[in-house]
Amino acid sequence: MINLKIPDDIRKDIPLTSKLIYFDNAATSLTPKPVIDAMVDYYLNYRANIHRGVHKLSVKATEEYEEGREVVAKFIGAKPSEIIFVRNTSEGLNWIPYGITLSEGDKIVVSEVEHHSNLIIWMRLKRKGVKIEFIKEKDGIIDLEDAKEKIDESTKVVTITYVSNVLGTIQPVKELSKIAHSVGAYFVVDAAQAVGHLPVDVGYINADFLAFSGHKGVMGPTGIGVLYIREDIQSEFEPPFIGGGTIEEVSYDSFKLTKGPERYEAGTPDIGGVIGLKAAVKYVSKIGTEKIEKYEQKLAEITIKGLKDIGATVYGTEDTSKRVGVVSFNIEGYTPHEIAAYLDENNIAVRSGHHCCMAFMKKLGINGTVRASYHCYNTKEELERMLEVLSEL
């Protein structure tokens, strides 16, 4: 039995939970009404651009936007000056290779379980003579001893997904950070599947860069994300885009960029998105990420046992203390898409395919999986219904 109860009013805040069983949270989570209400309030009542206006609407919009930066910073243990608003995790990660100096012969060390967004951006640097090495994994968790062998004095970047989007496995990011910093390498974290599903503290894990999206774990809007850049390395990081709002002084023969987060946010940002993100972070904070993590782990435990009972193949460690609420599986005789389509016919939404981890799927020797991924509004009864439908296969 699940001995942790998530408040019933969360499901009331998300009308879609009464219309279907939604197990595709690793792709995008459902959005509570208070988040939508906050965005509607901006568009209807103080719609204006930020930072440079002195009229009341602009001042109000600026205050709400910058409060969003403060709320997000507190949520991940950062300073407001370290929070850069971007479109999503992919965009945030793409910024990093362009902002740091990398030369021929430098080495990037990544894991075998990476999402394409934290893999091909580094592989593209091979054209410049940058080397790529991979940390081996077992049951979806990286081998730290192998990491120590791969990470040497030529390593400039070590990067890892905090939580595998395929298996839900939690990586030993704090330990890997120590190894990376021991050779003076930057430590980059893809936290798309971690933030909102478990407690994340950038100081504790000692990240140099960390990126996440608003629409996944924190149940916010799409099109808004966060790139954390540690304050003391911002002087080493060139903004990929410059323009309106990023400058301190301009003449016809020179310009000087401003400091802080404004340096990295060229042009008009997604103001409504930041306001929605702020409301979403407050919403998840009220529930508590520690509680969400334990709740999801219990859901994963029930799922894994139930799937194995019906003869499914489940991927990744079965130790649910080392994973969040993401479970990938296959059933012999059926393709992942066939299973997902069958579940959809029964009003259950899951994801099927390679989950933007094609290289890892090839390593596993499979063409994809069915992925059920949870959040705090999913229930034991919904899991039992999915297992009942799958048993009919």
Is 356 part of the annotated catalytic residue set? yes
Other CB atoms within 10 Å distance of the CB of residue 373: 29
Which bin fits 16, alpha (ψ -120 to 50), beta or left (φ > 0)?
Answer: alpha
* CATH number of the 35-286 domain: 3.40.640.10
Rounded CA-CA distance 27/313 in Å is: 22
118: its two tokens:
């934290």
Q: 9-23+288-391: what CATH class?
A: alpha beta
Domain ranges of the chain: 9-23+288-391, 35-286
Q: Cα-atom radius of gyration of the chain, to the nearest Å?
A: 22
Q: How many residues make up the chain in this entry?
A: 393
Residue type, 383: L
Q: Collect all residues with Cβ–Cβ distance below 8 Å to 288 and sequence separation of at least 6.
A: none
Q: Looking at residue 1, what is its pLDDT?
A: 41
Q: Looking at residue 5, what is its pLDDT?
A: 67
Rounded CA-CA distance 76/195 in Å is: 8
356, 383, 387, 390: which is the annotated catalytic residue? 356
Phi, psi torsion values for 27, nearest 5 degrees: -85, -50
What's the number of CA atoms in the CB half-sphere (13 Å) around residue 283?
29
DSSP string, 309-358: HTT-EE-S-S-GGGB-SEEEEE-TTS-HHHHHHHHHHTTEE-EEE-TT-H
Rounded CA-CA distance 203/353 in Å is: 35
**Cα distances (Å, whole numbers) of residue 9 to 40, 216, 282, 377:** 21, 20, 15, 9
Helical (H) or strand (E) element with 155: strand 155-161
Rounded CA-CA distance 361/369 in Å is: 9
Q: Looking at residue 393, what is its pLDDT?
A: 84
Residue 122 contacts residue 146 (beta carbons within 8 Å)? no
- The 3-state DSSP class for residue 137 equals strand
Rounded CA-CA distance 264/334 in Å is: 47
Residue 95 contacts residue 227 (beta carbons within 8 Å)? yes
Rounded CA-CA distance 335/382 in Å is: 23
User: Sheet holding 155-161: strands in order across?
Assistant: 83-86, 225-229, 209-213, 186-190, 155-161, 107-111, 131-135
What's this model's pTM, rounded to 2 decimal places?
0.96
Q: Looking at residue 9, what is its pLDDT?
A: 84
Cα angle: 81, vertex 213, 228; to 5 degrees:
25
pLDDT (tens, 9 = 90+) of the chain, 393 residues, equals 445 566 678 999 999 999 999 999 999 999 999 999 999 999 999 999 999 889 999 999 999 999 999 999 999 999 999 999 999 999 999 999 999 999 999 999 999 999 999 999 999 999 999 999 999 999 999 999 999 999 999 999 999 999 999 999 999 999 999 999 999 999 999 999 999 999 999 999 999 999 999 999 999 999 999 999 999 999 889 898 999 889 889 999 999 998 889 999 999 999 999 999 999 999 999 999 999 999 999 999 999 999 999 999 999 999 999 999 999 999 999 999 999 999 999 999 999 999 999 999 999 999 999 999 999 999 999 999 999 999 998
Rounded CA-CA distance 69/65 in Å is: 7
Rounded CA-CA distance 185/45 in Å is: 47
Other CB atoms within 10 Å distance of the CB of residue 346: 14
Rounded CA-CA distance 227/92 in Å is: 5
Rounded CA-CA distance 92/262 in Å is: 15
